[in-house]
Amino acid sequence: MKIKRIEHVGVVVKDVEKSRALWEGCFGIKLDSVETNPTKPVKLAIYPVGESMVELIAGTTPDSKHQKMVAEGKGGINHLCFEVENIDEALAELKLKGIPLLDEVPRHGHAGCRIAFIDPSATENCLIELAELPKGHAPAH
């Protein structure tokens, strides 16, 4: 498996719009985009930092997974995402090594990426996401 870079760090927040004041006002980081997923109650704000990004994640309904996490005091850094050259090959390699996966098959992620998560039981309780960017998609700068 070829890991190209840290693609992003996912941070669970209560409200993306309110969190923007910190990331833009305090740190001076420019917002790249805000995304919603029509099939899931989630809103993302993407902040490029060098070759990587910070991804703010907020649930959009009170019963969403991310709103429940915040209510339970489990907001904050959620996961680390590595960009891989070929996600299908990466998943096959991990399966061959006996690494448990949360996603056996890649699914749709932010900005058209194909993503999959590794089971945190295999990574010292660190949630790790793998992402393959769409062809022609340049990393953040």
Q: Residues 18-40: pLDDT tens digits?
A: 999 999 999 999 999 999 988 89
Looking at residue 136, its pLDDT comes to: 77
Rounded-to-integer distance, Cα 39 and Cα 33, Å: 19
The domain 3-132 belongs to what CATH superfamily? 2,3-Dihydroxybiphenyl 1,2-Dioxygenase, domain 1 (3.10.180.10)
For 100, phi then psi, to 5°, come to: -70, 140
Average pLDDT over residues 65-93: 97
Please report how many Cα atoms fall inside a 13 Å half-sphere around the Cα of residue 132, on the Cβ side: 16
What pTM was computed for the model?
Answer: 0.91
Encode 21-34: b = buried (16+ Cβ within 10 Å), e = exposed: eebeeeeebeeeee
DSSP secondary structure letter of residue 23: I
Domain ranges of the chain: 3-132
| pLDDT > 70: percent of the chain | 96
Q: Catalogue the E-assigned strands of 63-112.
A: 76-84, 107-108
pLDDT digits (tens, 9 = 90+) for 95-110: 999 999 999 999 999 8
Stated as kind and residue range, the H or E segment containing 58 is strand 52-59
Rounded-to-integer distance, Cα 102 and Cα 28, Å: 35
